[in-house]
Structure 1
Amino acid sequence: MSRLRRICVYCGSSSGSDPAHRRAAHDLGAFLARCGLGVVYGGGNVGLMGAVADGALSENGEVIGVIPRSLMEKELGHGGVTQLHVVGSMHERKQLMVDLSDGFIALPGGFGTLDELFETLTWLQLSFHDKPVGLLNVAGFFDGLLAFISHMSQNGFLKPEHAACVLVENDPAALLERMESFRPPDLGKWIERLAAEAR
């Protein structure tokens, strides 16, 4: 029995300059719905966010949006989703999205997408959750980021085991399969060891 019931999708509020990005967002939403998985996302009706929601809804999937009140007041909320949670801040938004989800997939996006991605990875690193985090590497979009993650690890700022927690595929089915089998690394009390080294 799958431990994944809902997948949170982080992605841009813009569609980007490559039409492949919007197609991939719509297709991912539709794919997750066909797999019987609910979609949690940022609640918007624009850009890749809107495409993900529309894709899932086209397959009668569950779509839960979480949007800050300030953006809702700008009429950016999606009116057709299953549930739309309106929250007071970006911090509340990110926490609720994590709480509602069993795994996370990042699509192309900008600062906001990377903020959500890296906060979720940091929480995984600190054992605040044990949920899988994946990148759908559409048209090589994340190649530069992956090179930098490797650079951080090579320079001693990121344990290889933590770097390996970033699951990367360019096919949704392959990514979901890896997320299903993901288990966080058991590094023991590495934070305590780090503190001892600093003394």
Structure 2
Amino acid sequence: MAQPRRRRAATEEKVTRVLETAAEIMLREGYAAVTSRSIAARLGIQPPLVHYYFPTVDDLFVALLRRVSELNVERLTAVMASDQPLRAWWDLASDPRGTGLLVEFLAAANHRPALKQEMGEVARQVRQMQMAALEKLLPEYGLDPDQFPPALIAATVQGLGLGIVADETAGYKTEHEQARAAVSRLIDRLEQQRASRHPD
């Protein structure tokens, strides 16, 4: 993969617009619709300008993944420090926009080794962050880490969010509304349990 060019501060706004446009195309039309031509057409610029910022489509996808991941880490940090960490985390994990992008990244990574490698590293870092937070939080919810290890809780929250949003986005008749409601009720009970164990 070509190395990204160094950019002057004045170009950052244009780069951000390119990445935001790529994300919108991914969400609306799928990752395969992301090309220099489609981005340029949306922005009213010439395709070579997109190539100036991102010499290859792989460069663009990796840059977008890094940008999205940085924002998600910031959100996850705030979520884990909130008054209702599991509730806030579930809302983040089951957000249609963020998870919809993840679905497209996963699909694209199946065909783009550079993106797949980057996604693996991002997933590892985020999972370590989640597990570190859960090690402290699980006892507050009355959950035994030996029975419900942080790795299980992290995989469950992320996996359920991904599965439900993927089915919602695709319009599959898989009773995803029922699943979402059931998870919400479970989290409500856990948050009530935590509040009773740790009253303000």
TM class by smaller structure: 0.3 to 0.5
> 1 or 2, which has the higher strand percentage?
1
Quick check: which has more Rg, 1 or 2? 2
Which structure has the highest helix share of the two?
2
- Normalising by structure 1, we get a TM-score of 0.35
Q: TM-score, normalised by structure 2?
A: 0.35
